[in-house]
Structure 1
Amino acid sequence: MPSEMTLDVLLFIISIPVILKSSDVFIEGTSKLAKMLGVSDFVIGITIVALGTSLPELASDSYASYIDHGNIAAGDIIGSNITNIALVLGLTCVIRPLTVKHTEIYSGKMHLLILTLASIFILASGGIGRIGGIAFIIAYILYLWHSVRVYREIGVETIGKDGFIKNVSEVLIGLAGILIGARFLVNSIIGLSTALGVSEYLIALLLMSIGTSLPELSVSIQAARKGYMTMALGNIIGSNVANMLWIFGITAVIRPVNIASGVIVVQLAFMLLLSALLLIFKSTGYVIDRKEGAVFLGIYAVFVLVSIISGSNPTGLHQ
């Protein structure tokens, strides 16, 4: 057991710089491709980057559902959405205040509406079955179509096509590094937590969600440092919608997930509160400043404490 824990610690330490460097390469490649193709940073962030950084959740949660552990998938998806706003966006805005264009406010409304409707459906249905999963997937495709149509030409800065192959290679290499690093990180966290006897749902809700959200954290921080603020925002919003509709949908299609509403209602309330605050902060002065970023971080700390104290009883989640 000690040797296994040592290996998990080493994997944890190694995976972080791998993800950070890969994210740096990935963000450079995607931003340049966006300009070459005449597509805005926001659209790239809300589609390609969001889907790319959500792949760890997709792979991990699909596998968890396949092996009849839907409680892990549910905890990871809800936990990741909370982590994306409270921790990822909070840290990003503390590092550099996020300036928001007026034309991007609508996406925040759509983001809140989608998460609210999906949460109501899950609570009312006691989970999500295969038909519901298919409906979620179709809704996500329509969301992508709408986003590209509305925001395609907002803030476009076209550059030449020189270096196209190089930029595509950077995207692929960066994405591969993110996925490999995230996989190592998730495995190490699960290994350590299992050795300590922590429940699956709590692991997924608090620890696994951080591991699978690390790509979003890395990409958003790197985007903020490089001045691609709309891409950072698009990444957060796009990842949350992808998690709730695309990943939850695929997970349910693989195997229906039944969730006792009493188990997840508190976490869903945190998720919707953060989504509403995101819309409010975006709408006031069109800047999410360092103080508002600190508010997100404070809410995340409360969320962690409440989840630990309540124990997030996993027995209410069953297949």
Structure 2
Amino acid sequence: METLLDIIIIIVCIAALWQGAELVVNSATRIARKIGMSDLVIGLTVVAIGTSAPEFAVTVVAALEGQSDISVGNVVGSNIFNLGFILGGLALLKGIATTKTMVYRDGGMLIGTTILLIIFLYDLSLSRIESAVLLIILVAYVGFLIYRRAESEEHIPEGEFNWLDIPKFIVGIAIIVTAGHFFVEAASDLARLIGLSEWVIGVTIVAIGTSAPEIATSLVALLRGQSGMSAGNLVGSDLFNLLGVLGLAGILNPMVVNPAAQSSIFLLGGMVLLVVIMMRSGWRLSRWEGGVLILITLGRWILDFTR
């Protein structure tokens, strides 16, 4: 009975995180327009952070509650899921055209960031100084993009400002934080009840759940024939997860993770490198390459659950 209740709570929280993120992105976008922010800045900050809001909420809550395995596992797992399952699935359904900017600038940044995280977590801990470095890199990167007037590939919601957007934004934040708390509690209980480690739960179930906005964004982009934009969004989301989410969580509470984390972190590094190579080869992600990414992700899940 407890297991069923935890599963129900997790499902409800996933839906709440998704809806909360939608509220935050839509209302914050209109508020930002009202105070004079450009679509570029909105896309690089408000929308990008909004779609990563579930990861922020779950990772920060888990870090503050001393559940570092769920905290780091969520970010690593979400990134693997984004690149392996979502991006791979998009490519499998319809080959994705890539650009030099996406490959060299964003892909190169993602490779460098992932390597840095591997170095930081080599001793199975993330200190406040290391976390601050991650956050500083994110701020510098966003600042660089704005300075260069780089075009944001984030979809900017339409609509005019309404005074109700302010309470909607506050309600959205409250939903995300509350759902994040109960999500972490239920996932931890489930891990203990069925004998799985918190790391495995974090890197699989929690990671999939917090990737809900990315799944929605990618499907919408695919249906609109904007699969390239979707790929750019996923790469950008991974950068925000590694630099912003982990950076903030580690500053609030330094983390120590399970030794099992190393293999997943190395897998993430290998997958990031493979994805960038695939995007560079022929300047597109083909269907068979998408299939390979999905198989790698499924193989990893099987190893995690049978370990």
TM exceeding 0.5: yes
Residues 233 and 151 of structure 1: CA distance in aligned 2, closer, same or farther (over 3 Å):
farther
For the structure 1 residues 214 and 289, does the alpha-carbon distance in structure 2 shift closer, same or farther, using more than 3 Å as the test? same
CA contact (8 A) 2:89 2:294 kept: yes
Q: Hey, what's the Cα distance between the residues in 1 that align with 2:228 and 2:179?
A: 24
Please name the residue that 2:67 is paired with: 69
Q: Which residue in the other structure is 2:161 paired with?
A: 165
Matched letter for residue 78 of structure 1: V
Unaligned runs of 5+ in 1: 312-319
One-letter amino acid of the structure 2 residue matched with residue 129 of structure 1 = S
Which residue is 2:287 aligned to?
Answer: 290
Residue matched to 1:317: none
Structure 1 residue 24: Cα displacement: 8.4
Would you say 1:301 and 2:289 are equivalent positions? Answer: no
Q: Check 1:176–1:235 CA distance in 2 against 1; reply closer, same or farther (3 A cut).
A: farther
SS in 2 for 1:296: helix
* Counterpart AA for 2:64: Y
Q: Which residue does 1:89 correspond to in 2?
A: 87
Q: Deviations over 1:213-271 (max 9, x none)?
A: 222122222222223334322321122112212121112112211346x5322111210
Query: What does the per-residue CA deviation read over 1:122-173, in whole Å, with 9 as the maximum and x for residues that have no partner?
Result: 21x5422112211211111111112333462478999xxx94337x96x969
The answer (yes or no) to whether the contact 1:99–1:288 under 8 Å persists in 2 is yes
Identity score, percent: 25
- Structure 1 pair 175/84, CA: closer, same or farther in 2 (3 Å)? farther
Q: Please, which moves more after superposition, 148-157 or 22-31?
A: 22-31
SS of 2:260's partner is: helix
- CA pair 157-233 structure 1, distance change in 2 beyond 3 A: closer
Determine if contact 1:134/1:250 at 8 Å carries over to the other structure. yes
Q: Is the 8 A contact 2:29 2:46 kept in 1?
A: no
Q: Aligned residue for 1:152?
A: 150
Residues 100, 70 of structure 1: alpha-carbon distance in 2 compared, 3 angstrom cutoff: same
Q: Check conservation: 2:62, 2:184, Cα contact below 8 A.
A: no
Cross-structure match for 2:250: 252
Q: By how many angstroms is 1:26 displaced?
A: 8.8
Residue 304 of structure 2 aligns to a residue whose secondary structure is helix
Contact 1:18–1:177, Cα closer than 8 Å, also in 2: no
Change over 3 Å in CA distance of 1:173–1:255 after alignment to 2: closer
TM-score (ref. length: structure 2): 0.79
- Measured after TM superposition, the shift of residue 174 of structure 1 is 12
Aligned to 2:120: 121
Conserved 8 A contact 1:23-1:174: no
Separation in 2, partners of 1:13, 1:257: 27
Alignment of 1:101-140 (within 5 A): 101-105=99-103, 106-123=105-122, 125-140=123-138
- Cα deviation for residue 22 of structure 1 reads 8.1
Distance across 2 between alignment mates of 1:154 and 1:249: 22
Distance 2:153 2:23 in 1: 22
The answer to whether the 8 Å contact 1:98/1:289 transfers is: yes
Q: Give the total of aligned pairs.
A: 300
| 1:223 equivalent in alignment to 2:236 | no
How much has 1:113 moved relative to structure 2?
Answer: 1.3
Question: Which whole-Å CA distance do the structure 2 matches of 1:101 and 1:44 have between them?
Answer: 22
Shift of 1:14: 5.4
Structure 1 pair 264–175 and aligned structure 2 pair: CA distance change class (3 A): same
Alpha-carbon distance in structure 2 between the residues aligned to 1:82 and 1:172: 29
5+ residue gaps in structure 2? none
Counterpart of 2:52 (choices 51, 54, 57) is: 54
Query: What is the aligned partner in structure 2 of residue 267 from structure 1?
Result: 264
For residues 153 and 187 of structure 2, what CA distance do their matches in structure 1 show? Answer: 39
RMSD: 3.8
**Structure 2 vs 1, CA of residues 19 and 204 (structure 1 numbering), >3 Å: closer, same or farther?**
closer
For the residue of structure 1 that corresponds to 2:256, the secondary structure is strand
Which deviates more, 263-272 or 172-181? 172-181
Name the residue aligned to 2:206: 208
- Secondary structure of the residue aligned to 1:148 is helix
Query: CA distance change for structure 1 residues 287 and 199 in 2, over 3 Å: closer, same or farther?
Result: same
